[in-house]
Amino acid sequence: MSQVLVVTSGKGGVGKTTSTAAIGAALALSGQRVAVVDFDVGLRNLDLVMGAERRVVYDLINVVQGEAKLQQALIRDKRLDTLYVLPASQTRDKDALTEEGVARVMEELRSHFDWVVCDSPAGIERGAMLAMRHADVAIVVTNPEVSSVRDSDRIIGMLDSKTLKAERGEYMEKHLLLTRYDAARAERGQMLKVEDVLEILSIPLLGIIPESEAVLNASNVGCPVTLVDTDSAPARAYLDAARRLEGENIPMVVPADRRGFMSKLFGRRAA
């Protein structure tokens, strides 16, 4: 059965696109057919993070408006042949996305893929609404920081009222993905703890992604972190999160990057 997953947050810069790429790739690693869809019209970036930026010919808007077929716009990943990217348009604006057009494309995507992962734009406007509209499951990406938690709370309210599932009176499944977490700082009382964020937002936890250099390294080379540096702490955290999405029961841990002796000695970064 096909599942539509929205990756959303309200606030920008918390890791929606990184998480979409990492989880999409992690789901595809187990042989499932996955499409990652960029809804950030005008500011597309999923293609870049996935390393497919030079292969974009048609985009989501072209398909929504009937100017291209879905198959023409989907870009197959070079590393995993069950992973596809549907890029957003860089030149058009979000008004080009029509409610009916998006509904048609989502229906078609459902018929071809096991997972359709929608990367939502930041904000609570039309683009974000359309990205979550058809979702069966939502991942709320949150940083352990006050403004991100507040915006996530707002987005949770929208997921519970503005999605098709909510309008049908069904329960909207939501999961918290806590990103850029620093367990040591949380322990010192300088960062909200996992438990604090969970208590405030009261949705189930999908994973804790530790702050790590591996994330930037991955986007630098245009590869999901779960494919390029599979042993890194965030990759392991994302791989676990993807397995939890598939219903597996995996104990929650905060993976740590394995550090060499020298970096342990001198590697304390200024924060």
Taking the complex as a whole, how short is the minimal distance between the CB of residue 154 and another protein, in angstroms?
A: 8
Q: Which residues bind another protein (CB under 8 A)?
A: 145-146, 149-150, 153-154, 157, 161, 186, 188-193, 196, 199-200
Our CB check for another protein shows the closer of 71 and 147 to be 147
Please check whether residue 119 is in contact with residue 37, taking contact to mean a CB–CB distance below 8 angstroms: yes
Kindly give the pairing relationship between strand 83-86 and strand 173-181. Answer: unpaired
Structure tokens at 227: 């494919």
Taking the complex as a whole, how short is the minimal distance between the CB of residue 262 and another protein, in angstroms?
A: 25
Residue 44 carries which side chain, given as an amino acid letter?
A: R
Our CB check for another protein shows the closer of 82 and 142 to be 142
Residue 263 carries which side chain, given as an amino acid letter?
A: S
Structure tokens at 9: 């947050």
Structure tokens at 263: 């970096």
If DSSP codes are grouped into helix, strand and coil, which group holds residue 67? coil
Question: Rounded to whole angstroms, how far apart are CA atoms 14 and 235?
Answer: 17
Q: What residues have CB less than 8 Å from 150, skipping those under 6 apart? A: none
Our CB check for another protein shows the closer of 190 and 220 to be 190
Taking the complex as a whole, how short is the minimal distance between the CB of residue 124 and another protein, in angstroms?
A: 11
In which element (H, E) is residue 237 found? Answer: helix 233-245
Pick the closest to residue 21 from 177, 219, 217 (CA basis).
219
Taking the complex as a whole, how short is the minimal distance between the CB of residue 9 and another protein, in angstroms?
A: 16
Termini Cα distance of the chain: 45
Taking the complex as a whole, how short is the minimal distance between the CB of residue 187 and another protein, in angstroms?
A: 10
Taking the complex as a whole, how short is the minimal distance between the CB of residue 223 and another protein, in angstroms?
A: 34
If DSSP codes are grouped into helix, strand and coil, which group holds residue 271? coil
Taking the complex as a whole, how short is the minimal distance between the CB of residue 123 and another protein, in angstroms?
A: 16
Pick the closest to residue 36 from 74, 89, 86 (CA basis).
86
